[in-house]
Amino acid sequence: MTERGELAGDPFGRLRALTEARIGLGHAGPGLPTAASLKLQLDHARACDAVHTALDVPALQIALGRKVHVVHSAAADRATYLQRPDLGRRLAPEVSLPRLGGDLAIVIADGLSATAIMAHAAAVVAALPAFLPGWTILDPVIALQGRVALGDAIGEQLGARSVLVLIGERPGLSAADSLGAYLTWAPRIGRRDHERNCVSNIRVKGGLAPERAAANIAWLLGEARRIEATGVVLKDRFGDGAPTLSGPADTPRALDAPHGGA
């Protein structure tokens, strides 16, 4: 079939090859074709499962292959967590972590997708040390019913110079396993979102691969240590080339705006 004939038969074919968005699905009478309708229902079910499935802490600890601390936010259960975002940003009153110091605290929070945590968090944590030679990286903290700002309280208790929060992003109908990474320099309770940087959509298929994400995170952390700040004052200039241990590529890109609703 000629290129013109292919475009005439399916004008959205090439666009669909470039995006996971639902475009050019066609119709069956006033509704979607059966295949498209069933795929929509399946993706909706996967998104719901990602939000409501409990994080498998023992399996995550095995995947991390190292000692972890497990803490809980002030949201006592999943229903409370979803209805009271403020409680997900605060540690439960009984939580007390040792003041260890160190350059980087890593918090792994279930957020709005335990699916994303189980799929990608361990790979990011495993890749980070190679990009951060000489950094003191504390044992990870697994935070249940946690949101991004919970990392501020954890980092403050640990006495870390910076905190990285790996969290399950709000699932959509094209991605239920998207992981977000939020970085904050000098974490303490009361930090605001504009004082953080975000590397988003970390996932193997259709997103940023975990090792490349680790390289991007490490670049941001290095710059944060240099200027002693994160957030709007730190522009993400990590390159678009493949990450290597010798450093990022030279081509800059604009700052990724934090998102995910965590």
Domain definitions of the chain by residue range: 52-227
Is the Cβ–Cβ distance between 72 and 143 less than 8 Å? yes
DSSP state for residue 71 in the 8-state scheme: E
- Candidates 19, 8, 144; CA nearest to 88 is 144
Q: How far is residue 8's CA from residue 1's CA, in Å, rounded to a whole number?
A: 10
Which CATH class for the 52-227 domain? alpha beta
DSSP state for residue 193 in the 8-state scheme: G
Tell me the two tokens of residue 251.
């081509």
Is the Cβ–Cβ distance between 166 and 109 less than 8 Å? yes
Q: How far is residue 224's CA from residue 183's CA, in Å, rounded to a whole number?
A: 9
The pairing of strands 179-185 and 162-168 is antiparallel
Binding residues for adenosylcob(III)alamin, as ranges, are: 148, 169, 198
Amino acid 3: pLDDT: 41
Q: How far is residue 142's CA from residue 121's CA, in Å, rounded to a whole number?
A: 11
Is the Cβ–Cβ distance between 158 and 138 less than 8 Å? yes
C-alpha count within 13 angstroms, C-beta hemisphere, residue 186: 12
Binding residues, as ranges, are: 148, 169, 198
CA-based R_g, the chain, Å: 20
Give the DSSP H or E segment for 61: helix 57-64
Amino acid 44: pLDDT: 75
pLDDT (tens digit, 0 to 9) for every residue of the chain, 262 residues total?
344 434 456 778 777 777 777 777 777 888 888 887 787 778 778 777 667 788 999 999 999 999 999 999 999 999 999 999 999 999 999 999 999 999 999 999 999 999 999 999 999 999 999 999 999 999 999 999 999 999 999 999 999 999 999 999 887 767 788 899 999 999 999 999 999 999 999 998 888 999 999 999 999 999 999 999 999 999 988 874 434 444 333 323 333 333 444 6
Sign, CA dihedral 79-39-169-54, equals positive
